Amino acid sequence: MGGGMRILTIGLTVLALLAAGIWAAFFRWPGALVSASVEPAVLISDVRLVSMSPGAAEVELHKDVLVLDGVIVAIADHGGLDGDPRVASALRVDASGQTLLPGLIDAHVHVWDVPELAAYLAHGVTTVRNVSGLEVHLRWAERIEHGALLGPTLLTTGPILNSPGPNAQQNHVLVMTQDEARAAVRRQHEQGFEHLKVYSNLTEDAYRGVLEEARALGMTVSGHTPEGVREPGIPLERDFLIPFLSVLDDGFLTIEHTESIVWHGLRDRLNAERMEVLAQEMAMAGAVVTPTLIAHDNLVRVAESDGAYLERDGVASMNPLYVKVDAGVYDFWSRQDPAFREEVRRQFYQRATGMMHEAGVTLIAGTDAGIFTNLPGRAMTRELELLVLSGLTPYEALQAATVTPAGVFGLDDRGVIAPGMRGDLLLVSGDPLSDVSSVEYPAAVMANGVWLDQDALNRLEAASYQGSLPRSVLNALPVLLGTQ
């Protein structure tokens, strides 16, 4: 009996060790993200300040910025805080020759697993809006806000609401009727979501149900503008069942993708005169647009390179489950000739974005990061570059990634550098107002008061490559089972 018990004990111990090893290898989050402490006091000294504060100069030279317990408390000329007792024990950062901006806000991402969050911080993005949510995102968001998980502030919509059609995907909640749509909205509200995302194939009946229930529950609506059922002849021979202009009065928080606006608003006609008129109509309606120019631009880059662009530095931050699921898409675009159709579209989408900006449409920067080959964190720099190519100045492009989305999302504690604001900061070498690309590799980042120097950013970059296929499958289980 004693020998049998010893064998059983040894066996259970081995199983426990194996289970612990499997958990550590495949399910435990990278150590760089487990937790971090807010620095009690940080003095950023002699910095070039791009505060984004309304009425402030675009750049202010030789400034000192003091942050206490994660809150900006003072901004002064260099040396002006030397006698302040609050700086006596502060971490002093010599930022001469560097530029300080508010932390960047990516208004359109897809997060599949925790390591991807590290990539955003590593590249200066301190707030993200996930636009295809599951309940796990709500749990991650809460842990981040309470300091138990290091990551950018995580805003999230609920699961995408759509109807069956050519754009329906596995991670969509499909509804056809007003009653089904209302029930789906109520379910997301009960789960804790405050924001909804809708998609292009929603039927008119379902769309009205979403809007009415969202208004009743105080939820926001963003997404692709719904088109209704795509009957034969739509859009080349006749307009969509839900015309684009009719959606402009429906109170969208944000409309996603310039290319979707061209598809729905112009019926896929690359007509500059009509786009100019449409941009003016959108501006009068108060539309807010997330252009996500990088989404199409990266398709073209893959095609131009015969797929080599899929192997560039940083692609290891892409989620391994998503990469497996999208393998066929990668192969398709690697074999396309961009000169046949897509290059002219790339140019038109940039031009259309410039027209919207000139007309006064509010633009916010989003990257579609986490899908196709849009790299978490790094994609923000590519999007800013594309906004500049579209006609925005570097300062205007950076506004679209800081103060403007902060206002759109009601985040009144960030987006500018001013006393009383949250310590979400981005320190970069060089001058992003002359070269917006300089934001890609920060010298340091502050995320809700946590100071991340170059060594910490390097650890976060490494952590972003530690995606786990088993953990990602577990995260996506509601989608795989169709219970989202």
- Residue 20: the pLDDT is 38
Q: 62 in helix, strand or coil?
A: strand
- Give which of 452, 292, 306, 305 is closest to 374, Cα–Cα: 292
With a CB cutoff of 8 Å and minimum separation 6, the contacts of 16 are none
pLDDT tier at 21, thresholds 50, 70, 90? very low
Domains in the chain, ordered, with CATH? 101-463 (3.20.20.140)
pLDDT confidence of residue 7: 59
Question: Which phi and psi (to 5°) does residue 34 adopt?
Answer: -65, -45
Give the pLDDT confidence score for residue 36 in this predicted structure.
84
Q: What is the pLDDT of residue 27?
A: 55
Start-to-end Cα distance in the chain: 50
Continuous H helices in 77-203: 115-122, 135-145, 178-191
Whether residue 419 has pLDDT greater than 90: yes
- Return the pLDDT at 32: 82
| pLDDT for residue 22 is more than 80 | no
Which residue in this structure is represented by tokens 């140019």? 347
Residue 340 binned pLDDT confidence (cut-offs 50, 70, 90)? confident
Type of residue found at 103: G
User: What integer is the mean pLDDT of 218-243?
Assistant: 97
Per residue in 34-70, pLDDT (tens digit) is 878 999 999 999 999 999 999 999 999 999 999 999 9
Q: How confident is the model at residue 465 (pLDDT cuts 50, 70, 90)?
A: very high
> What's the mean pLDDT in 461-468?
96
